[in-house]
Structures are given as structure tokens and as C-alpha cells.
């Protein structure tokens, strides 16, 4: 009986720890930092600046039913969010970004280079 009780307590703590981790994802996330790494031979400083300004308009919203909504200047996505043990965020089973140190980071690659956007939870 004692071992069953200890097992129950252990499982309860494990469930609470996992549940709490996911709870911190719920809410609205806004852009904290944009890093545009484009090939200088195929872009201009004006283009890099414009891309950075466009990315700063992005907003991610995550609800308690694990629905993620992404809204950007030219793009909108919505789907079911899941979190892998390594911090990888999946949107409808496709790689969306990384959750680490209280931030969500997304990376987009194009023929011109890559754009890395870090989001922080809005207060």
C-alpha cells in the first residue's frame, strides 16, 4: 500500500511539473529581436531594414487548448501546437520553432539568407 501511495505522489508531481511547463506557453508573444542574415551580394541594406520592420509586426497567440495563431504582415497561420522534450515547437506536426529560456525563436530560410526572430511573452 505504501509503495502505491508513493507511486501516486510521484506521478502527481510529474504531471504537475509537465503541466506547469506547458502553461507558461499560453498567452501572447511579441517580437523581441530580429536578426536578418542576407547575402550582401543579393540584397541591399534597405531590404534588410524593411524585412526587419515587417517581422517586428508578428504576433503569436497560444491558448490553453493548444491552439497557436501566428499573425504577420503578409501571413497568418493557425493550428494545433505541441512541444517536444527538446523544446521544439510543432504546429500541426511541422517544425515551427524552438522554446528555450522563456523565449520562442523561429527561423526562416530563403534564397537570400535567413531571418531569426525571437519572441517574448507580452505582459
pLDDT one-digit tens code per residue, 28-69: 999 999 999 998 888 999 999 999 999 999 999 999 999 999
B/e letters for 10-22, b = 16+ CB within 10 Å, e = fewer, are: eeeeeeeeeeeee
- State the total domains in the chain: 1
Answer positive or negative: Cα dihedral of 83, 86, 27, 16. Answer: positive
Q: What is the pLDDT of residue 22?
A: 60
In angstroms, the CA 69 to CA 61 distance is 5
Q: Provide φ and ψ at 113, rounded to 5°.
A: 150, -150
Q: What is the pLDDT of residue 17?
A: 41
- What's the domain range around 113? 2-121
pTM: 0.79
Q: What is the pLDDT of residue 75?
A: 86
Q: What is the pLDDT of residue 19?
A: 43
Read off the CATH number of the domain in which 11 is found.
2.40.128
Amino acid at each position: 500500500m505504501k509503495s502505491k501511495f508513493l507511486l501516486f505522489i510521484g506521478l502527481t508531481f510529474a504531471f504537475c511539473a509537465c503541466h506547469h511547463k506547458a502553461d507558461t506557453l499560453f498567452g501572447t508573444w511579441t517580437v523581441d529581436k530580429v536578426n536578418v542574415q542576407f547575402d550582401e551580394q543579393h540584397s541591399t541594406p534597405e531590404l534588410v531594414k524593411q524585412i526587419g520592420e515587417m517581422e517586428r509586426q508578428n504576433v503569436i497567440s497560444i491558448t490553453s487548448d493548444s491552439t497557436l495563431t501566428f499573425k504577420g504582415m503578409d501571413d497568418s497561420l493557425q493550428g494545433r501546437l505541441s512541444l517536444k522534450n527538446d523544446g521544439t515547437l510543432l504546429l500541426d506536426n511541422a517544425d515551427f520553432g524552438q522554446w528555450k529560456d522563456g523565449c520562442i525563436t523561429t527561423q526562416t530560410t530563403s534564397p537570400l539568407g535567413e531571418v531569426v526572430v525571437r519572441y517574448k511573452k507580452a505582459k
